[in-house]
Amino acid sequence: MENFILYEELGAGRNSVVYKGRKKGSLNYVAIVCTDKAKRTEITNHVRLSRDLDHPNIVSFYEWYETSSHLWLVVELCTGGSLESVIVHDGSLSEDVVRRFGWDLVKGLKYIHELGIILSDLTPAKVLLDGSGILKFGNFCLSKADGETLEEFFALLSTSVETGGEDSEENFDDLRKQLQ
């Protein structure tokens, strides 16, 4: 990560922090996601499924790094925030905006489905907007390739699903039901 300059923090979740960054010697800004190594399985799955994707409605993946305590993803910077934040701030959207957003979602889903990728864990919080307001899918951590059985998929994820109580088991069961 010594080749990157980190600027301000753009957001944070339970296991990750997103920074605005730039590769030294470049004028192109990127998003740099710092994730706890405990999420290695999900991050590896994300990289496996997203590294070769090239579509206007998919967040571009550039590279990833591992340090002693974190995994770092370098991806396209989406300055428009999330679809969730737009909905929360605006309350309601015009029919034209809903139509355009719907078209962006359909184009992105069509592309990834044609490649045999099944997107899961799809929420407005995980759909991003670039600076022009184009919607982009960017989270493939819990997605799977067509043809992978649910058993194979859950075996991949089970090593990193947080355990320790009924809530975790219930959340895991809910995820399993949603994917069936």
Closest by Cα among 142, 102, 117, 143 to 53: 117
Question: Does residue 171 register a pLDDT over 50?
Answer: no
Q: Could you tell me the domains of the chain? A: 4-161 (1.10.510.10)
Judge contact between 110 and 160, C-beta under 8 A. no
Indicate if 174 belongs to the active site. no
Distance, in Å, from the CA atom of 178 to the CA atom of 39, rounded to the nearest integer, reads: 21
Question: Does residue 58 register a pLDDT over 50?
Answer: yes
- The whole-number pLDDT of residue 180 equals 42
Distance, in Å, from the CA atom of 101 to the CA atom of 120, rounded to the nearest integer, reads: 19
- The whole-number pLDDT of residue 157 equals 61
Distance, in Å, from the CA atom of 114 to the CA atom of 101, rounded to the nearest integer, reads: 20
In the structure, what pLDDT confidence band is assigned to residue 162 with cuts at 50, 70 and 90? very low
Closest by Cα among 159, 158, 117 to 139: 117
Distance, in Å, from the CA atom of 180 to the CA atom of 174, rounded to the nearest integer, reads: 10
Distance, in Å, from the CA atom of 16 to the CA atom of 64, rounded to the nearest integer, reads: 14
Which residue out of 52, 96, 121, 174 is catalytically annotated? 121
> Which range (12-26, 42-56, 143-157) has the least confidence?
143-157
In the structure, what pLDDT confidence band is assigned to residue 170 with cuts at 50, 70 and 90? very low
**For the whole model, what pTM was predicted?**
0.81
Judge contact between 36 and 46, C-beta under 8 A. no
Mean pLDDT of all residues belonging to the chain: 86
- The whole-number pLDDT of residue 177 equals 46
- The whole-number pLDDT of residue 167 equals 41
- The whole-number pLDDT of residue 120 equals 85
Tens digit of each residue's pLDDT (9 = 90 or more) over 66-105 = 999 999 999 999 999 999 999 999 989 999 999 999 999 9
Q: Kind and range of the H or E element at 48?
A: helix 40-50
